[in-house]
Amino acid sequence: MASHLMYLIGLTTIALSSLVQSAPLDKYVSVVLHGDLSLFYGDESSLSSPPSTTGAIGINIEHEMNNDSTIYYIEQQRYGADWIAAGIFENDSTKIDKGLNILTWVFDKEEQDGDGSSVYRNSGDAVHSTSLFLEAATRAALLLSHSGLHSDVITSWEPHLQAMASFVSEHSAIDAYARDSNLEPFAHRYFLRAASLQGVSVLFGEEAGSLSAAASSLVEEGLSLQTEDGVLPERGGFDFNYQGIGLAYLGRYQQMIESVDTSAASSSACTASQSLFVDRVDSLGNVDTSDSTRINEQARSGRPKRLDYKTIAQGFISCSLESNNEASTSWHY
């Protein structure tokens, strides 16, 4: 763990001169496929737990083994996006195919069950689980599209992702009767949902910009939660893991749009967050999570949650990119 953190903090470097003039999607891809992530993309165990032959991951394997009688979470399939990123990063079609198999498990289940919407609506923790999967699936599709790969697959995903985006948007509107009660205690979820909705908008377009507007509103609301000392609250306080994850999702959203105002707000969020990370990592890379509010939570598997180094690293890289030149240098401490 410590060596991962030293790599994450010590080598999070962005070549700003080559990225500042790039199109937003180029920036997005450059962060997800940044060279400093080779440690993770080269280690299959960091991508996901082993999938079944059908592509099921984690608790979803148990769901299959029990003849679909136990709960499933479509969010478990989000790790397919990491396999696809690793495959593109390493020019490895086998990894890309494995990632596609993991993601399409959800769409195959929709066809098998005969009612597409029921698959995500009946998932455990339905709205949050759908938003996690949707963000990952759109990220995978954006990477594939940018690389000129599997355009037929992306096209086949469109109706599924559009429907999921409507579902997430419907349950995220601030004045909606159906707003998900699991959104408010977790700041990172505002940015997660924004990135998922904006990803669908970028991929497939939309009428009247409704998804983009919903995404923008979520980002504004999420940023408004940041405290004076930089905390993006999780269950009422600071959490090392989810602070970094939240910055990653915020960065992904920002890199898909062209907005000076949002970029400035993202940069401010990063600057305010910086000391929170520095103060909790010692010279050996050990992380002090004693005051993290969610460190004792369990994952869907029932095992303790672990620091998501890969996503936190992307949050740091995004902050390096979104900050001005002087501030960005301090992100590789």
Domain positions in the chain: 2-331
Report CA-CA distances (Å) from 203 to 158, 212, 231, 260, 291. Answer: 9, 12, 32, 22, 39
Beta bridge partners of 281: 287
Report CA-CA distances (Å) from 81 to 72, 208, 247, 303. Answer: 19, 29, 18, 22
Which fold would CATH assign to domain 2-331?
Glycosyltransferase (1.50.10)
pLDDT of residue 183: 82
The pLDDT tens digits of the residues spanning 163-200 come to: 999 999 998 887 766 677 778 789 999 999 999 999 99
Rounded distance, CA 95 to CA 68, Å? 27
The pLDDT of residue 14 is above 70: no
- Segment 148-155 shows an average pLDDT of 96
CB 194 within 8 A of CB 253: yes
- Segment 213-224 shows an average pLDDT of 94
pLDDT of residue 11: 41
- Segment 46-50 shows an average pLDDT of 94
Compute the Cα dihedral for 131, 223, 297, 175 and give only its sign. Answer: negative
- pLDDT, averaged across the chain: 87
The pLDDT of residue 73 is above 70: yes
pLDDT of residue 264: 83
Compute φ and ψ for 236, nearest 5 degrees: 85, 5
Q: Tell me the HSE value of 140 on the side-chain side, using a 13 A CA sphere.
A: 33
Q: Provide the 10 A C-beta neighbour count for residue 116.
A: 17
Compute the Cα dihedral for 280, 235, 219, 253 and give only its sign. Answer: positive
Q: Residue 143: in which H helix or E strand, if any?
A: helix 126-146
- Segment 144-157 shows an average pLDDT of 96
Token pair of 22 as six digits: 């790039």
pLDDT of residue 301: 86
pLDDT of residue 184: 79
CB 79 within 8 A of CB 133: no
Look up residue 188 and give its amino acid.
Answer: H
CB 73 within 8 A of CB 51: no
pLDDT of residue 213: 93
Token pair of 108 as six digits: 């195959």
- 163 against 111, higher pLDDT: 163
Report CA-CA distances (Å) from 132 to 29, 101, 191, 326, 333. Answer: 19, 17, 11, 33, 30
